[in-house]
Structure 1
Amino acid sequence: MIDTPGGRGVRRLAIGLAVLSCLSFFTTAWIFSAVSREQEIVSQIVKHLPESDSEVASELKGELVLQRGLLLLLVIDFVAAGVALVFVVRAYLSSEQSLEDVKVLSSDILASMDAGVITTDPDGVLTSINPRGQMLIGLPHSEHPPHDSAIGHNISEIGHEHASLEEIFEESRRFEHPIRDRDYRITRDGHTQTLRAGCTRLHNRAGDEIGFVLQVRDVTQKALIEERLRRMERYMGLGSLAAGLQHEIKNPLAALALHIQLLCERLAQETDDTEINESLNILNTEVKRIGDVLDGFRNYASINDIGRSPVDVGELISKLVRLLRPHAEKQNVTLKMSAPEQTLELIQADSARLEQVFLNLALNAIAAMPNGGTLQFLISGEDGGIRIDVIDTGRGIPAEIQSKIFDPYFTTRSDGTGMGLALCDKIIRQHNGNLDFETSPQGTTFTVQLR
């Protein structure tokens, strides 16, 4: 309940005037009754007075007339006080209604905000929370926030996923400065959300500190966009570098590979030394590996546009499943494909590069299930485009490397170059699409969105 000193003053004035009006009313009634009684008594006395006393009786009646005038004046005062009381009561009711309107407006503003607003006292005990805040921290929505189960509890009791809120609160209280834009992640219904929180001190009109205000916003989509921008920055400007490396390294490397091959043929005729042959094979393998790395870097850094033609994504995935089935069966992996009954529209894309993306995602998924499992391709239409989910039942991606999996040359496999997912991400962006993922210990889902 919001109260103001002005509102309390109006109440006191209204009550005081009401009491004075009542006293005036009862006093007027008493005087009127007394004067009426005196008039009756005087009338009875006058009837029995001799004519010699008529002058005295007239003077007495004159005094009673004066008393009547005073009574009339008192009545007028009473009426005026009543009118003033009416105006004061109306003003009081109007101020109460205005105050209620302000409270309702402030409640509506808080309820309409896209950010969660949480207030606490100086000790961190929750004093209020708007509906958006209840939703973001996972509380059941209540039409009457003061009765919400979180009100009256300390901020440390909200939940372990929101421990960052307590840290922000404690830092703001300890160092006496506002905290802004602290991101933390929670998992809800199997999906990861990014929340951005801040904390400032709460003051009343007198400037006294009465608590803290925490703001919480859902910035999941914004965080995804920022991550995609960071990925784009990783290869912006690498085109000229890739061309230089291709010229300065690839050509000498080709000459080196040619001379190693000639040396192998020469030594094969003159000696059967196993150690020499093994060393030459290692040289050959490593030269080829360097060439593959350069090719991968060139493809990743290339800014050339892709070729586009009508592509049936469902048919492309179906062909890929048939190609992968023998390899998957060796790994005890079951392949599944799910597509809508109605035929999806063709999209303008580079079929060879899209096939490269889905092949790489599938091989990574199979590698993540060394003890077998299920790999599913789920195709669906979405907002005028196509969505493809590549779902595995592997062990998931550890949290400490999730932010690095799209980085060039980052790999956890001894036989990988680390360019697979980086190149997949680039190809999908060249198609004006998105490549994202969600992971848990029960498996990982890579989602490709194309338009």
Structure 2
Amino acid sequence: MVDDNAAFLDNLQELLGDAGYEVRGASSCRSAREHAKDGFDVALVDLRLPDGDGTALAAELKNGSPDSEVVLLTGFATLETAVAAVRAGACAYLMKPCAPQELLLTLEQAMRQVRLHGEKRELARRAQMTEKLAAVGTMTAGLSHEIRNPLNAAALQLSVLERRVRKLPDVQQGPLLEPLLLVRDEIRRLDHILEDFLQFARPREFRPGSVDVRELVRRVVDLLSGQAEARRVALEKAPREEPLPPVAGEEERLRQVLINLCLNALEATPAGGKVTVSAGHEGGRVWLTVDDAGPGVPPEVRDRIFEPFFTTKAQGSGLGLSIVHAIVTQHGGTLEVGTAPGGGARFILQLPVATGEPVAVRRA
């Protein structure tokens, strides 16, 4: 809200605040530019400001935030100012003083436009992801056998070679085993990458059942405790007194999701840090969070972190989190990334509670 009339600004801030809007006030173009850096949905801008023209400011704000909307306010409406408002990209033009209902209606229309911008952006992102998925499917179908066969042959010959080397005297084994084991690990890594491609391109049929979330968390934490200890990172499940209902899904695939999220958290957390897995439920959904003590996920990366082939790691296919996101979506759930209380990354998984049968509740 940009207006140099302090009384008018206070009145509108109170009115819009009571209507549920979060309002930031500015009395000049300079102040408005500073507020705009933090982002906004709708800007209400007076035409006459002490340090500039409201129409020029409206165009500047619109150019800086194309998905946001601008509403111009004026007490001196003319045909010229109306035309200038349209050219500046304003979605509406109100006369001061305006009736509260007219202002609220105009704001709701502007917010509807903002939501439409967001939906269009999401549709464009999904279309781009669909194209990538199609490319993965085509490539995988043609290359899977061509790659898997020599990988299997190489792994077999390495196993034979390893058995022969281990029959040698201990003093001779060391220099031979070190490069051999390195090659074996690299073959395994290639095999895992190929498996990611296959799974992402050809997802299995979904057959949901009832999954005990408490047991799921316990198994994953127990399974990864050795890797956490090797990294000198504490992997813990947060204590919980309230009961948790089962979720609808496939236990094996949800375990894969949680393992992937925990492994990423362990990799991001420095020695001496802690990774915490928490669970709870609200309404008809159960939530799981994985918090790490790493550097966190930068805001500019969060919108892309689930895209196929996108990765911030030096190695990897960039499909791990994409597969996780696809599994969660297939389960009717959501997966988001945020900031953990300690400043690291927090992945928030939400899944629907199992329905169609009596809900057996156990204490976690």
TM normalised by structure 2 equals: 0.64
List runs of 5+ in structure 1 lacking aligned partners.
1-117, 140-149, 185-195
2:107 is equivalent to residue 207 of structure 1 = no
Residues 318 and 128 of structure 1: is their aligned pair in 2 closer, same or farther, counting only changes over 3 Å?
same
Q: Which amino acid aligns with 1:249?
A: I
Partner of 2:148: 250
2:100 is equivalent to residue 229 of structure 1 = no
Q: Which amino acid aligns with 1:244?
A: G
Among 201, 204, 211, the residue aligned to 1:311: 211
1:86-132 CA-partner distances (Å, limit 9, x unpaired): xxxxxxxxxxxxxxxxxxxxxxxxxxxxxxxx4658xxx97985644
Q: Which amino acid aligns with 1:207?
A: L
Q: Which amino acid aligns with 1:245?
A: L
Q: Is the 8 A contact 1:389 1:445 kept in 2?
A: yes
Q: Is the 8 A contact 2:233 2:266 kept in 1?
A: no
Displacement of 1:176: 9.4
Q: Which amino acid aligns with 1:367?
A: E
Residues 262 and 316 of structure 1: is their aligned pair in 2 closer, same or farther, counting only changes over 3 Å?
closer
2:269 is equivalent to residue 369 of structure 1 = yes
Among 283, 298, 301, the residue aligned to 2:198: 298
Partner of 1:335: 236
Q: Is the 8 A contact 1:238 1:301 kept in 2?
A: yes
List runs of 5+ in structure 2 lacking aligned partners.
46-51, 92-106, 353-364
Tell which has more relative contact order, 1 or 2 (C-alpha 8 A, sep 6+).
2
Percent identity reads 27
After superposition, where does 1:42-441 map in structure 2 within 5 Å? Answer: 118=1, 129=12, 131-132=15-16, 138-139=23-24, 150=25, 153-158=27-32, 160-163=34-37, 173=55, 183=65, 196-199=67-70, 205-209=77-81, 217=111, 219=115, 222=119, 229=126, 233=130, 234-236=132-134, 238-258=136-156, 283-329=183-229, 331-333=232-234, 335-339=236-240, 341-344=242-245, 346-414=246-314, 416-439=316-339
Which range is displaced more, 387-396 or 198-207?
198-207
Tell me the SS of whatever aligns to 1:335. strand
Using the alignment, how far apart are the partners of 1:312 and 1:231 within structure 2?
35
Q: Which amino acid aligns with 1:396?
A: G
Using the alignment, how far apart are the partners of 2:265 and 2:257 within structure 1?
12
Q: Is the 8 A contact 2:334 2:351 kept in 1?
A: yes
Q: Is the 8 A contact 2:244 2:280 kept in 1?
A: no
Residues 275 and 230 of structure 1: is their aligned pair in 2 closer, same or farther, counting only changes over 3 Å?
farther
Residues 135 and 292 of structure 1: is their aligned pair in 2 closer, same or farther, counting only changes over 3 Å?
same
Residues 206 and 159 of structure 1: is their aligned pair in 2 closer, same or farther, counting only changes over 3 Å?
closer
Displacement of 1:418: 3.2
Displacement of 1:404: 3.3
Partner of 1:55: none
Using the alignment, how far apart are the partners of 2:35 and 2:59 within structure 1?
24
1:27-51 CA-partner distances (Å, limit 9, x unpaired): xxxxxxxxxxxxxxxxxxxxxxxxx
Q: Is the 8 A contact 1:333 1:369 kept in 2?
A: no
Using the alignment, how far apart are the partners of 2:299 and 2:289 within structure 1?
21
Q: Is the 8 A contact 1:126 1:154 kept in 2?
A: no
| Structure (1/2) with the larger helix percentage | 1
Q: Is the 8 A contact 1:172 1:199 kept in 2?
A: no
Q: Is the 8 A contact 1:260 1:280 kept in 2?
A: yes
Using the alignment, how far apart are the partners of 1:258 and 1:416 within structure 2?
23
Using the alignment, how far apart are the partners of 1:432 and 1:275 within structure 2?
52
Q: Which amino acid aligns with 2:347?
A: F
